[in-house]
Amino acid sequence: MARKKIIAGNWKMNMTPSEAVKLVEELKPLVATEDADVVFCVPAIDIIPAMEAAKGSNIEIGAENMYFEEKGAFTGEISPAMLTDVGVKYVVLGHSERREYFAETSETVNKKMLKAFEHGLTPIMCCGETLEQREQGVTMDFIRQQVKVGFLNVTAAQAAISVIAYEPIWAIGTGKTATTAQAQEVCKAIRECIAEIYDEATAAAIRIQYGGSVNAATAPELFVQPDIDGGLVGGAALKPDFGKIVNWK
Ligand code: PEP
Q: Where are the domains of the chain?
A: 5-246
Per-residue pLDDT of the chain (249 residues; tens, 9 = 90+): 689 999 999 999 999 999 999 999 999 999 999 999 999 999 999 999 999 999 999 999 999 999 999 999 999 999 999 999 999 999 999 999 999 999 999 999 999 999 999 999 999 999 999 999 999 999 999 999 999 999 999 999 999 999 999 999 999 988 888 899 999 999 999 999 999 999 999 999 999 999 999 999 999 999 999 999 999 999 999 999 999 999 999
- Amino acid identity of residue 236, one-letter, is A
**In this structure, which residue's CA is closest to atom 5 in ligand 1?**
212
Q: How many helices (H) and strands (E) does the chain have?
A: 12, 8
- Mutate-to-test residue for ligand 1 from 172, 174, 177, highest number of ligand atoms within 8 A of CB: 172
Q: Does the C-beta of 10 come closer than 6 Å to ligand 1?
A: yes
Let me know if domain 5-246 sits in CATH 3.60.40.10: no
The residue among 205, 188, 98 whose CA lies nearest residue 143 is 188
Model pTM?
A: 0.97
Is the beta carbon of 158 within 6 A of some atom in ligand 1? no
Q: How wide is the angle at C-alpha 126 spanned by C-alphas 211 and 229, nearest 5°?
A: 50
Q: How far is CA 214 from the centre of its chain?
A: 13
Distance, CA of 131 to chain centre:
20
Distances (CA, A) of 192 to 4, 5, 55, 138, 230: 19, 19, 38, 17, 18
Q: Considering 95, 97, 104, 129, which one is annotated as catalytic?
A: 95
Residue 89: Cβ within 10 Å count = 15
Distance CA 183, CA 172 (A): 13
Compute the C-alpha angle 22/24/25, nearest 5°.
Answer: 65
Read out DSSP for 201-223? HHHHHSEEEEESS--TTTHHHHH
The answer to whether residue 119 is catalytic is no
Q: Take atom 2 of ligand 1 and give the residue whose Cα is closest.
A: 234
How far apart are alpha carbons 211 and 168 in whole angstroms? 7
Strand partners, 41: 10, 62
Contacts of 215 (CB under 8 A, 6+ apart): 177, 236, 241, 245
